[in-house]
Amino acid sequence: MVNYQTDRLDGIFAALSDPTRRAVLARLSEEPDLSVTKLAAPFSMSLPAVLKHLDVLEGAGLIVRRKSGRTVACRLNPTAMEEAYRWLAHYERFWSERLDALAQFLAEEASPNDTNPKDANPNPTSKKGA
């Protein structure tokens, strides 16, 4: 088993579980260093509600906020996402091996060398109606 910091991963996956937070991350992947005001514009919620989502994302390490004067800008922090990706990749290998084995088993079961007794014609030379 790969050793991961479970508390950190719990926070990352909890933050990613919300569609609004995933939408924020998607916007930041397209436009880095967005101000909080611009980031909140497309959402049909109050600015304080958006700020709570940003708090969760920042607490999970997925974003970094930087203040310049009165403007607060947000940027993705790729380190946290890389940690989650490594965890997922470990289990992707696990499932890929098993799914490959299942595919091979099913292919062998369906191979044309096998004859199904229901499909076999007991008298292949006879014609229907003759």
Radius of gyration of the chain (CA): 27
* Reported confidence tier of residue 22, pLDDT bands at 50, 70, 90: very high
The domain total for the chain is 1
In a domain, 119, yes or no: no
In a domain, 46, yes or no: yes
Q: Note the pLDDT of residue 112.
A: 66
Query: Which residues does residue 68 pair with via DSSP β-bridges, in sequence order?
Result: 71
Q: Note the pLDDT of residue 108.
A: 84
Q: Note the pLDDT of residue 114.
A: 55
**For the segment 24-64, what is each residue's pLDDT rounded down to a tens digit?**
999 999 998 999 999 999 999 999 999 999 999 999 999 99
Whole-angstrom Cα distance, residue 53 to residue 118? Answer: 60
In a domain, 129, yes or no: no
In a domain, 124, yes or no: no
Q: Note the pLDDT of residue 6.
A: 76
| Token pair belonging to 65 | 């906020």
In a domain, 25, yes or no: yes
In a domain, 115, yes or no: no
How long, in residues, is the chain? 130
**For the segment 77-102, what is each residue's pLDDT rounded down to a tens digit?**
988 888 888 888 888 877 777 777 78
In a domain, 44, yes or no: yes
Q: Note the pLDDT of residue 105.
A: 84
In a domain, 120, yes or no: no
Domain residue limits at 22: 1-110
Q: Note the pLDDT of residue 128.
A: 54
CATH of the domain at 88: 1.10.10.10
